[in-house]
Amino acid sequence: MRKSLLLLLLSMLSWTAFAQETETTADDMTIPEDIDVDSMLDSFSSLDSVNQFGGKLGYNFLGGEHYATLRLTPEINLGKWGVGLDVPLSVNLQNGKVRTEEYVRGVGALRMVRYLRYGRKKRDPIHVKVGDMTGSYIGFGLLMDNYSNATSFERRKVGITWDLLFDKRFGIEGLYNDLNLTSMNLLAVRPYVKPFGKTLIPIVRSIEIGGTYIMDRDQTTQEGLDLQQNLLIRNGGITAYGADFGATLLDLGFIRVTASAQYGNINKTVTTSDLTAYYQEEFRAENAAKPIDEQLTGEELEAEVLAISAGEEEGFQTGDGYAFGLQARASILFKLLTMQAKLERVKYNAHFIPNFFDIMYELNKDQRLLTLMNTAPTFGIYGDLSATILGSIRVNGGLMMPDNITESTPAMVKAGVDVVNVLDKIDLHAQYIKGGLTDWSDAFTLDNNSLAYIRASYKAYKFLTVGVDYQWTWQKGAEGAFAPKHTVMPFFGFNVPLIGKKDKEVEED
């Protein structure tokens, strides 16, 4: 059975969008133009047990240059072992030169190995994965969910994640995002216990209790950003911890209902002096980006820099939050119809964002931290519902609705549809998210709070697919301001199943 697990780029991967939009607009965000969208999408649509040789031939616009791009993405899975490759080749259409930046920054040529995996998380007692961490989560996801260390082609890192269960009762899961020994980077560890794991009672043996610790002392530079250093992160780092409890309440084979309770705390002391240094460095970067005849220099520049100072009220230390909820999965009429639903009651105090360590985190850690500064308390309900018919049509939607919808505590809505193997040789995928909502009439109005993705593809031959991608996002222009960006990218893709053992598909826990 072929699954459609396509998630929206960036913020769609978690519902932090509603919280992040509390005081942060598009003008505050710096998003690299080389975001590795394909890696994010491919990692959610692939199966652990299927061997395939895929690729895409298309056009891209990077750094003001036009490129013809070819990406080979074979995936080989034999038993519990799996390896994924990603070999990019970009040729400049103007001068014919091959783009080498993809092999210089980050992990260099090692980026061609997307991941190496043994076992499957929450399915096998031993799971270890090295390489691309896209889609990773810890525990039930309140602090870390849909995390990625591969936010762009050039800045892909080699990380490691694991989930080990001993004697069916004692486990430990974790993640280290970058095997770069120059500094202590993002580390997440969650020991957990299944106290009744050896019993024969299905519901009782599913009870799981865990505690999470996350820290980041990143001292490395963030190449490709206006500010080259993690100014706020490197000064003392950031620490988060949490506790969770989960259990399966009902398991009748065709329907399964689980419940979880989670607590999370994000602790980062950001002082006035830290913010002052950040604002001063930001001013220097903005000045350097101006035309030479408009730049400040010498004493004039230093005087302007020294005049910049953060207010005493701008610093912050810690924030925490709670989430209590139910999750349900149902399979009806021999899987002709499968449904998934989530309903959670959330209480987030000031300076706390759920799923804080997500795909947005690595884009710019300092700006991610700054979103905590103005995040107001939020109390509300989050719901998510999806249905899949015949394994070919998937419709999904989600809603974050604060008890009191205001500009500081806006709502969020998301929706999507995937149609696969229904129309003759044609597949369709679409995802949409809208944050910062204070008026429901704007829920489906495209603006700088919107993210949208549409893909239409046609299987011209057995292993050859042609199609077009459309993306709505925003990008920083020459004047420094952000504006909506429409991207239309035609492509050729190919996917060749490889000979090898195919494991029996197992539904996720």
Residues 302-349 have pLDDT tens digits of: 888 888 877 666 666 789 999 999 988 787 766 678 888 889 999 999
- pLDDT surpassing 60 at residue 154: no
Mean pLDDT of 185-200: 93
> Is residue 479 classed exposed, middle or buried when 0-12, 13-18 and 19+ CB atoms within 10 A define those classes?
exposed
How many Å apart are CA 505 and CA 48, to the nearest integer? 9
CA angle 235, 240, 246 (to 5 degrees): 170
The pLDDT of residue 313 is 60
Least confident range from 165-174, 250-259, 302-311, 498-507: namely 498-507
What are the tens digits of pLDDT across the range 109-120? 666 778 899 998
The pLDDT-based confidence of 144 (bands split at 50, 70, 90) is very high
Which amino acid, one-letter code, is at 245? Answer: F
φ, ψ of residue 451 in degrees (nearest 5): -135, 130
Mean pLDDT of 142-165: 81
How many Å apart are CA 433 and CA 154, to the nearest integer? 27
Percent of the chain scoring above 70 in pLDDT: 73
| CA-based nearest residue to 24, from 477, 364, 414 | 364
The pLDDT of residue 498 is 54
Strand, coil or helix: 441:
helix
The pLDDT of residue 161 is 95
Joined together, the tokens standing for residue 414 give 């998301």
Report residue 327 CA to chain centroid gap: 21
| CA-based nearest residue to 231, from 310, 175, 119 | 310
The pLDDT of residue 53 is 58
The dihedral over CA atoms of 467, 472, 476, 477, expressed in degrees to the nearest 10, equals 80
263 within 8 A of 319, measured Cβ to Cβ: no
The pLDDT-based confidence of 85 (bands split at 50, 70, 90) is confident
Q: The pTM is what?
A: 0.68
215 within 8 A of 227, measured Cβ to Cβ: no
The dihedral over CA atoms of 445, 448, 449, 450, expressed in degrees to the nearest 10, equals 60
Percent of the chain scoring above 90 in pLDDT: 16
Least confident range from 41-50, 190-199, 430-439: namely 41-50
> Which regions of 356-463 does DSSP assign to beta strands (E)?
378-389, 393-402, 411-423, 426-437, 450-459
The pLDDT-based confidence of 52 (bands split at 50, 70, 90) is low
How many Å apart are CA 68 and CA 92, to the nearest integer? 7
How many Å apart are CA 409 and CA 378, to the nearest integer? 6
Buried b (16+ CB within 10 A) or exposed e, 115-146: bbbebbbeeeeebebbbbbbbbbbbbbbbbbb
176 within 8 A of 160, measured Cβ to Cβ: yes
| CA-based nearest residue to 274, from 303, 244, 317 | 317
The dihedral over CA atoms of 14, 20, 22, 27, expressed in degrees to the nearest 10, equals -130
The pLDDT of residue 478 is 52
- pLDDT surpassing 50 at residue 27: no
How many Å apart are CA 148 and CA 39, to the nearest integer? 10
Give, as one character, the DSSP assignment of residue 504: P
Placement of tokens 């005849």 in the chain = 293
The pLDDT of residue 258 is 85
The pLDDT of residue 252 is 78
Cα atoms in the 13 Å half-sphere on the side-chain side of 169 = 8
- pLDDT surpassing 60 at residue 22: no
Q: Which helix (H) or strand (E) holds 349?
A: none
Which parts of 357-450 fold into alpha helices (H)?
365-373
Least confident range from 110-119, 190-199, 226-235, 408-417: namely 226-235
The pLDDT of residue 264 is 96
Across the chain, what does the average pLDDT equal? 75
| CA-based nearest residue to 187, from 133, 142, 135, 118 | 133
What are the tens digits of pLDDT across the range 363-381? 778 878 887 877 778 889 9
179 within 8 A of 160, measured Cβ to Cβ: yes
Strand, coil or helix: 150:
coil
DSSP per-residue codes, 40-98: HHHHHH--TT--EEEEEEEEEEETTEEEEEEEEEEEEEETTEEEEE-EEEEEETTT-PB
339 within 8 A of 10, measured Cβ to Cβ: no
Judged by phi (left if over 0) then psi (alpha if -120 to 50, else beta), residue 305 lies in: alpha
Higher-confidence residue of 374 and 154: namely 374
The pLDDT of residue 465 is 81
The pLDDT-based confidence of 497 (bands split at 50, 70, 90) is low
